């Protein structure tokens, strides 16, 4: 079920969003929802280049494996 959210926008931001939504021929609410979802998806997951860096970082991988081992053994403090 969809929910209604009230959002306060500065006039400049509102006009920018409204213009972009009209350019895409869609409602303002859909434009804001899509933009927010894209932002979350881009920042929630690592891209392929970041993943290559992570995989090639031996020190980081040792630390991750150690942390995983500690978590499975229920050692440490989890926040």
Does 38 lie in the same domain as 60? no
Provide the domain count of the chain.
Answer: 2
Does 54 lie in the same domain as 37? no
Q: Report whether pLDDT(18) > 90.
A: yes
- 39 lies in some domain: yes
pLDDT reported for residue 13? 96
Does 67 lie in the same domain as 51? yes
Q: Give the CA count within 13 Å in the CB-facing half-sphere of 58.
A: 0
Does 54 lie in the same domain as 39? no
Token output for 67: 């942390």
pLDDT reported for residue 59? 96
Does 53 lie in the same domain as 38? no
Q: What is the DSSP string of 11-79?
A: HHHHHHHHHHHHHTTS-HHHHHHHHHHHHHHHHHS--HHHHHHHHH-HHHHHHHHHHHHHHHTT-S---
- In which domain, by residue range, is 66 found? 46-79
Q: Report whether pLDDT(78) > 80.
A: no
Q: Report whether pLDDT(79) > 80.
A: no
pLDDT reported for residue 20? 96
- pLDDT tens digit sequence for 26-76: 999 999 999 999 999 888 888 889 899 999 999 999 999 999 999 999 888
């Amino acid at each position: 079920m969809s929910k209604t959210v009230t959002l306060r926008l500065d006039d400049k931001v509102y006009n920018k969003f409204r213009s972009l939504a009209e350019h895409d021929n869609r409602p303002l609410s859909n434009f804001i929802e899509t933009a927010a979802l894209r932002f979350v998806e881009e920042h929630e997951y690592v891209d392929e280049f970041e993943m290559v860096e992570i995989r090639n970082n031996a020190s980081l991988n040792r630390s991750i494996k150690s942390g995983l081992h500690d978590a499975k053994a229920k050692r440490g403090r989890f926040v």
